[in-house]
Amino acid sequence: MTSQSGTTTGTSSIATPTAAGSNANNASNRGGTANAGNAGNATTSNQHGNGNRGNHVVRKLKTRHISMIALGGCIGTGLFMTSGGTIAQAGPGGGLVAYAAMGIMVYFLMTSLGELATNMPVSGSFAVYSSKYIDPALGFAMGWDYWLNWAISGATDISTAALLMQYWFPKSPGWVWSLTMLVIIFCLNAFVVSAFGETEFWLALIKVVTIIVFIVIGLLMICGIMFQPAIGFKNFTYKGGPFIGGLPAIMGVFLIAGYSFQGTEVVGVTAGESENPSQAVPKAINNVFWRIVLFYLLSIFVIAAIIPYTDPNLLGASDTNIAMSPFTIVFEKAGLAGAASIMNAVVLTSILSAVNTGAYASSRMLYGMAKDGYAPKFLGKTTKRGVPLAALITTLCIEALAFSSSIFGPKFYMWLVTATGLTGFISWMGIALSHLRFRRAFKLQGHKLSELKYHAKLFPLGPVLALVICAVVICGQDIPAFASGNWGELLMTYFSVILVAILYFGFKFTRHTHIVKLADMDVSSARPEVLREQNRA
């Protein structure tokens, strides 16, 4: 990326200099330095080796870790707890259609991220891509908004974990369990990245086994092998099914389905610490589609077949009411003893996974921003084992502060939670737009797709579809507040959008950034150094 003074800058975290200072430099890139795989592997050999001679992360995540992290990002507490609510609102058919459409969009989005991540595998991921392929100001805005979202959602999760522990220990103080989880998360992330990867592997495996058992038992019940008489498919046509409420109901469920897939983008962040990103990331992303089909669609199919959409229990499920989980209900119908206690344990491990992933993703995002001049320099330092400890501690401290904000009352705490609700969709739009511009510049500068070790399917349909759907989801938020003119409610709902706009334009006007021209864009694997001269001023 060219600095605002017009001189060619070096890189902040990769030894190879950028090649986008001029068209002449771009021409040299066309000779081969922009090759995604070769450049990526060459420039990161010293930075990310098993040793750590400088302030850099290290490549210790194995392919199986990346695959399970991608899988864990697809499966959250939403599937276990609130998926039944989508069936209650839109009927069995409406729930399946909404999740299928959102799943297809997420798959295309992940292929876009896969192309970018294998070309330039760095910590900071899509915030770096936004800086390099769109505008440095957008990278700044997206990075800080994404980090804040994970910090606040982490506070929500540790409070929920305390409530789940009180299911077994009703007289214990909740803050003890929340503090215990924070200490556990710190220990899992503070010493070596492989500890995080190994933990996520086993936590994701618990979720996978639970879902597979659920699907198998559910199908046996539907066929009459474990339940007499056979349940069959009568609930799909029960009382006007399978579609209830028409298109508005499906759109409402569509929004909920979008939240369920939040976190899948974390696989892009892990590319910066993968032992072999050109192999691990594509493998993980290519399997996302089949995982979505298997885990989401089959699970919702089983729930819809066994539990009528009119069952009030479908709307009563929440993280604090484990007995109303559709998984619990199905297991109890199958005669599984202690179903509620089992699901309580599964959801607890799912929350631990979410907090663990959030601590990893947000600390790497903060580390990446510090490397590129978006955050204080001390946050870009790592331990000898390549862990950005300062960024991790800062993130966990903010989580603790957000959690302690509940002392100001539940309204203030819920405002924090709701205010960051759209961050995931904003990040997805940034990924899609970065991919569109990267591919256009790649082609304009004379490169061929064969130079990329991985390229997204059905381009440009995938990123365009992601942009449209995310825009619909964002614009479709809180329609009743629009209708009633409740501006306070709208401010809370769209706080993430407003925050990104303030950060973007504030950075843009103070640092005088510009949208990167396609002809001048650096499509090599080198990391951009953002406005070094201005940051020093």
**Which 3-state string (H, E, C) describes 211-256?**
HHHHHHHHHHHHHCCCCCCCCCCHHHCHHHCCCCCHHHHHHHHHHH
Of 52, 200, 33, the residue nearest 119 (C-alpha): 33
Q: Which tokens belong to 83?
A: 């998926």
Supply the angle between the helices 461-475 and 246-260 in degrees, to the nearest 10: 110
Phi, psi of 226 (to 5 degrees): -110, 0
For residue 314, count other CB atoms closer than 10 A to its CB.
24
The Cα–Cα gap between 362 and 351 comes to 16
pLDDT score at 518: 93
pLDDT score at 73: 65
The Cα–Cα gap between 262 and 78 comes to 10
Supply the angle between the helices 174-190 and 389-404 in degrees, to the nearest 10: 170
Q: pLDDT in tens for each of the 537 residues of the chain?
A: 333 333 333 333 333 333 333 343 343 343 333 443 443 343 333 344 444 555 677 777 777 787 777 777 667 777 777 677 788 888 888 888 888 888 888 888 888 988 998 888 877 677 889 999 999 999 999 999 888 888 888 887 888 788 788 878 888 887 888 888 899 999 988 888 888 888 888 988 888 888 888 899 889 988 888 777 778 888 888 887 788 877 777 877 777 777 777 777 787 777 777 777 777 777 777 776 677 777 888 888 998 888 888 887 776 555 555 557 788 888 888 887 788 788 888 888 888 888 888 888 888 889 888 888 888 989 888 888 888 899 999 999 988 887 776 666 556 656 666 666 788 888 899 999 999 999 999 999 999 888 888 888 888 999 999 999 888 888 877 777 787 888 888 888 888 899 999 999 999 999 999 999 999 998 887 655 543 444 444
Question: Do the Cβ atoms of 158 and 178 come closer than 8 Å?
Answer: yes
The Cα–Cα gap between 208 and 220 comes to 18
For residue 418, count other CB atoms closer than 10 A to its CB.
16
Question: To which residue do tokens 């276990």 refer?
Answer: 80
The alpha carbons of the chain give a radius of gyration, in whole angstroms, of: 23
The Cα–Cα gap between 53 and 47 comes to 8
**Strand, coil or helix: what is 487?**
helix
Question: Do the Cβ atoms of 29 and 445 come closer than 8 Å?
Answer: yes
Phi, psi of 375 (to 5 degrees): -140, 165
| One-letter amino acid of 503 | L
Question: Do the Cβ atoms of 278 and 118 come closer than 8 Å?
Answer: yes
The Cα–Cα gap between 219 and 324 comes to 20
The Cα–Cα gap between 183 and 193 comes to 16
Question: To which residue do tokens 């070790």 refer?
Answer: 453
Question: Do the Cβ atoms of 227 and 298 come closer than 8 Å?
Answer: no
Question: Do the Cβ atoms of 353 and 204 come closer than 8 Å?
Answer: yes
The Cα–Cα gap between 364 and 124 comes to 6
CA 515 to chain centre: 25
The secondary structure of 394-463 as a DSSP string is: HHHHHHHHHHHGGGG-HHHHHHHHHHTTTHHHHHHHHHHHHHHHHHHHHHHTT--GGGSSS--TTTTHHH
Q: Residue 274 pairs with which residues in a beta bridge?
A: 61
pLDDT score at 137: 94
pLDDT score at 416: 65
Question: Do the Cβ atoms of 319 and 167 come closer than 8 Å?
Answer: no
Q: In the chain, how many H helices and how many E strands? A: 25, 0
pLDDT score at 23: 40
pTM: 0.80
Q: Residue 318 pairs with which residues in a beta bridge?
A: 321
- In terms of Cβ atoms closer than 10 Å to its own Cβ (0-12, 13-18, 19+), residue 180 is middle
pLDDT score at 444: 92
Please confirm whether the linkage preceding 326 is cis (ω < 30° from 0): no
The Cα–Cα gap between 296 and 80 comes to 10
Non-local CB neighbours of 146 within 8 Å, separated by 6+ positions: 127, 361, 362, 365, 423, 427
Residues 475, 476, 479, 483, CA torsion sign: positive
Non-local CB neighbours of 425 within 8 Å, separated by 6+ positions: 258, 470, 473, 474
Question: To which residue do tokens 């974990």 refer?
Answer: 161
- In terms of Cβ atoms closer than 10 Å to its own Cβ (0-12, 13-18, 19+), residue 226 is middle
Phi, psi of 409 (to 5 degrees): 115, 155
Phi, psi of 318 (to 5 degrees): -160, 170
**Strand, coil or helix: what is 210?**
helix
For residue 183, count other CB atoms closer than 10 A to its CB.
11
Question: Do the Cβ atoms of 392 and 192 come closer than 8 Å?
Answer: no
pLDDT score at 148: 86
How far CA 312 is from CA of 85, 329, 391, in Å, comes to: 9, 12, 44
The Cα–Cα gap between 122 and 524 comes to 13
